[in-house]
Each structure stands twice: as structure tokens, then as C-alpha cells.
């Protein structure tokens, strides 16, 4: 595999990540092609079977469909890591959120799609007016209690090894216990829930506990401007190679 298709839309949310990949892949001598969002979503761009495709989540999912690569289900909260959450997280439907905010004195909750990554952005909801009524009530969602994170960090993992850490919220001096992060990686491996490359976010709670924020699949992962072009390229290529191996012939 030495050919890449990188999203070129000037308004793409993945502009910084694409610039990292363009630099890293160019250093490796890859052939690089640019594409625009609309034709990729329409499936009108001819893609070689061995090409890497990178960009926003929705365009990469469209490319997977075209290439016959099964879309991996999100595993934001792997069962092997439940003990690292330090908060209640449950799966329900979007209609449950609506009922929650129809009840007397509803508390704020964090919610994100549990299946279709594109339906809405995961965030804290404080009232029913913030809900998107266009989202079907049967849509699976993850819901969690809102807890006081004072700092948050993203760890990039390739084959069970941490290659980079980025502080994306709070003061970097309020660090997490990295021994707990390594323990989480080991538990994912033992449970068979690991990936060749993934990002895992941990934060420091006001209680002093190190808690899992979420896990992210290794494709279309957003960065916080600390990871190098080489490391991000290695990370992306490693996961895409694993995904390509699942292609249905």
C-alpha cells in the first residue's frame, strides 16, 4: 500500500490532520491524490483496492463502503474498561433523552450516538430544547452522568504501545496516572477488544481519580496539535492496514 486519497475541501474539519498525513506520507514516498467531499459521498471517485483514504468521518465511511471494508462498530466504552469510568454510563435510545428532560427537575447528561457516528455531536445536554427533533427516537445512544473532569488527555496507541500523549482540556500539570492508562491497555488486550491503532482519552477528576473519557477508533481521529506528522501517519496507516485486511472480496 503506497497510495493515499486525502480530503481536500478547504472547510473540512480534518484540515490539520490531512496536513500531517500529507507531510508524513510524502516523506515515505507515497502517491497522494486529493478528493472533495461531495463526489466521495456519491461514490463517484474510482478507488484502488489498496488505497488509504483519510478525511472526515463521513467521507471515510463512504470510502469503506465503496472498497468493501466492513465499518467497525464504535466501541467508545469497551466492556473491559467499565471499571475505569468512575461514573454511570448506559445505553438507551434518543427517545429516552426526550423523556428524561420531560421529567420534573431533570439533571444534565452527556450523550452521543452509539451507532451512527454522524447523527449528532456528543455533548452535555442540559434541557430538552437542546435536543435535535430530527433524530429518530429509536436511535441508539450512550448516556452518562456528568462528572467534574479538571483535565483531559488523549493517548495514541499503536500495537499496545503509547506513541504520543496530548493535553486537550485543562492544565497539563494536572496529569493523569499513566500507570492506570497502561493497565487499561493491558485489559483491552486481554479481553480481545484492542485494535492495531486507537486513541484512548483519560481525564483527572476533581476527586483525584484517573477516569476513562472514551476510546476512539484509529481512523479519522482528531488531533490537538502536539502529535508529529510521522507519528500520526504511522498511527493512521497502521489502523487502515488492519481495516483493509477485513475487506470482503
CB atoms within 10 A of CB 232: 23
Under 8 Å between Cβ of 155 and 201 = yes
Beta partners for residue 195, in sequence order: none
CB atoms within 10 A of CB 70: 11
| Each residue's pLDDT expressed in tens, for the chain with a length of 249 residues | 799 999 999 999 999 999 999 999 999 999 999 999 999 999 999 999 889 999 999 999 999 999 999 999 888 999 999 999 999 999 999 899 888 988 888 899 998 888 776 677 788 989 888 888 878 888 889 999 999 999 999 999 999 999 999 999 999 999 999 999 999 999 999 999 999 999 999 999 999 999 999 999 999 999 998 999 999 999 999 999 999 999 876
Contacts with 15 (C-beta within 8 Å, 6 or more apart), sequence order: none
Q: Is the dihedral of CA 85, 90, 96, 101 positive or negative?
A: negative
Q: For the chain, where are the E strands, in sequence order?
A: 3-7, 31-35, 52-54, 89-93, 109-113, 123-125, 140-145, 149-158, 161-170, 197-205, 210-217
State the cell numbers at 41: 459521498
For 97, what's the count of Cα atoms within 13 Å in the CB-facing half-sphere?
A: 34
Per the confidence metrics, is the pTM higher than 0.85? yes
Separation between Cα atoms, residue 88 and residue 143, nearest integer Å = 8
Beta partners for residue 34, in sequence order: 6
State the cell numbers at 47: 478507488
CB atoms within 10 A of CB 158: 19
Amino acid at each position: 500500500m503506497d497510495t493515499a486519497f486525502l480530503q481536500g475541501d478547504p472547510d473540512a474539519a480534518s484540515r490539520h490532520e490531512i496536513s500531517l498525513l500529507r507531510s508524513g506520507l510524502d516523506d515515505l514516498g507515497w502517491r497522494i491524490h486529493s478528493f472533495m467531499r461531495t463526489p466521495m459521498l456519491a461514490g463517484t471517485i474510482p478507488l484502488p483496492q489498496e488505497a488509504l483514504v483519510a478525511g472526515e468521518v463521513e467521507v471515510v465511511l463512504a470510502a469503506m463502503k465503496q472498497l468493501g471494508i466492513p465499518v467497525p462498530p464504535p466501541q467508545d466504552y469497551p466492556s473491559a474498561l467499565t471499571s475505569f469510568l468512575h461514573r454511570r454510563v448506559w445505553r438507551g435510545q434518543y427517545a429516552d433523552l426526550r423523556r428524561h428532560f420531560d421529567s420534573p427537575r431533570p439533571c444534565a447528561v452527556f450523550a452521543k450516538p452509539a451507532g451512527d457516528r454522524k447523527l449528532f455531536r456528543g455533548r452535555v445536554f442540559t434541557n430538552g430544547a437542546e435536543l435535535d427533533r430530527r433524530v429518530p427516537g429509536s436511535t441508539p445512544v450512550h448516556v452518562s452522568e456528568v462528572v467534574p473532569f479538571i483535565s483531559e488527555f488523549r493517548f495514541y496507541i499503536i500495537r499496545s504501545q503509547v506513541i504520543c500523549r496530548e493535553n486537550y482540556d485543562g492544565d497539563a500539570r494536572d496529569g493523569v496516572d499513566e500507570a492506570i492508562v497502561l493497565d487499561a491497555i493491558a485489559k483491552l488486550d486481554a479481553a480481545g477488544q484492542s485494535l492495531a491503532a486507537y486513541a484512548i482519552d483519560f481525564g483527572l477528576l476533581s476527586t483525584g481519580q484517573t477516569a476513562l473519557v472514551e476510546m476512539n477508533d484509529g481512523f479519522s481521529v482528531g488531533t490537538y496539535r502536539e502529535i508529529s506528522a510521522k507519528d500520526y501517519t504511522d498511527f493512521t496507516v497502521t489502523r487502515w492496514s488492519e481495516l483493509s485486511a477485513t475487506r470482503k472480496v
